[in-house]
Amino acid sequence: MNLTISGHHLEVTPALREYVLTKLDRVTRHFDQVVDVTVLLSVEKQKEKDRRQKAEVNLHVKGKDIFVETAHEDLYAAIDQLMDKLDRQVCRHKDKVQDHHHASPKRDGVWDNAQ
């Protein structure tokens, strides 16, 4: 898994990097076919003070690219919301990829002798 954590208008400290890594462990625990992860943490220079810390992730898994972004006034809260959204999307993708079709009893020959 290739991981890139970068900052836009802020420096990515080792504490921020470690926080993102611990949160990403939850996603990779659910779905282990993650190929590439790019995390961008940024501070937006807006007039309004709320929701200026922004976190976004671009996750490349086998067969699909997943993009999620969140904004919050606290960067750690934005990362928490980001990982929650990403976890839901990865679980949804995993459910779509898995084969949920079971062989019907008629096809197995079980019901042939019952008649």
Chain Cα centroid distance, residue 10: 23
Judge whether residue 39 has pLDDT over 60.
yes
User: How many angstroms separate the CA atoms of 29 and 3, rounded?
Assistant: 15
pLDDT cut 70: percent of the chain above it: 80
Q: Is the pLDDT of residue 57 over 70?
A: yes
Confidence of residue 52 (pLDDT cuts 50, 70, 90): confident
- pLDDT confidence of residue 18: 95
Question: What contacts 24+ positions apart, CB below 8 Å, involve 1-7?
Answer: 1/28, 1/34, 1/35, 1/36, 1/37, 2/35, 2/36, 2/37, 3/37, 3/39, 4/37, 4/38, 4/39, 5/39, 5/41, 6/38, 6/39, 6/40, 6/41, 7/40, 7/41, 7/42
| Residues 64-87 pLDDT 10s | 899 999 999 899 999 999 999 999
pTM equals 0.78
Give the chain's domains with CATH numbers: 2-96 (3.30.160.100)
